Amino acid sequence: MTASPTPILGDPRGEVPSERVTSSPAGPDGLPGPADFPVLRRQQTRWADNDVYGHVNNVVYYSLFDTTVNGWLIEATGTDIRALPAVGVVAETSCRYLRQLSYPETLHIGLGLERLGRSSVVYRLAVFREEVDGTLDESPHALGRFVHVYVDATTRRPHPIPEIVRNAMAELA
């Protein structure tokens, strides 16, 4: 069974998506697996990530997503994205928690493209745990969504996605 695309409702910029990318779930539970993400970035949990309940606190997932997206952008473009004439500001994030994690864990954050517009991009993310033998869980511990809206670096008005960034997005398709 093929998954249907997640609808994008009420885009405040009135943009029509120029490209929409989806994938079929590969995990045994019908959720996306590591193979559904063209990019997997390795990250370690830290002692301070655990909360009083002994698991990774919810805010840490947002940091994992932000680090994944921006680290990938810097590597994929080969440039300091902060110095571009238009910069991506976070307009929306969400996280669906599926299974808990705790320190110490080695994680792999899956990154893919949900939608690419004129001045915005919607990323899809997933958090996978690395097993002791180096393999990855096939089922995610969390699923995320991360929206960058590109604005002029000076005026902060909407601006088309810089060409160097748009070209890098091909790797996520």
CB 108 within 8 A of CB 75: no
pLDDT, tens digit, for every residue of 55-69? 999 999 999 999 999
Element at 73 (helix H, strand E): helix 58-77
pLDDT, tens digit, for every residue of 66-113? 999 999 999 999 999 999 999 999 999 999 999 999 999 999 999 999
* R_g of the chain, CA atoms, integer Å: 16
Return the CATH architecture of domain 36-172. Answer: Roll (3.10)
For residue 163, give the nearest of 111, 115, 119, 112 by alpha carbon: 119
Residue 11 has pLDDT above 90, yes or no: no
pLDDT band at 137 (very low <50, low <70, confident <90, very high): very high
CB 126 within 8 A of CB 59: no
Residue 29: per-residue pLDDT? 81
* Backbone phi and psi for residue 76, each to the nearest 5 degrees, phi listed first: -70, -30
Is the C-alpha dihedral spanning 89, 17, 76, 66 positive or negative? positive
Residue 5 has pLDDT above 70, yes or no: no
d(CA 109, CA 50): 18
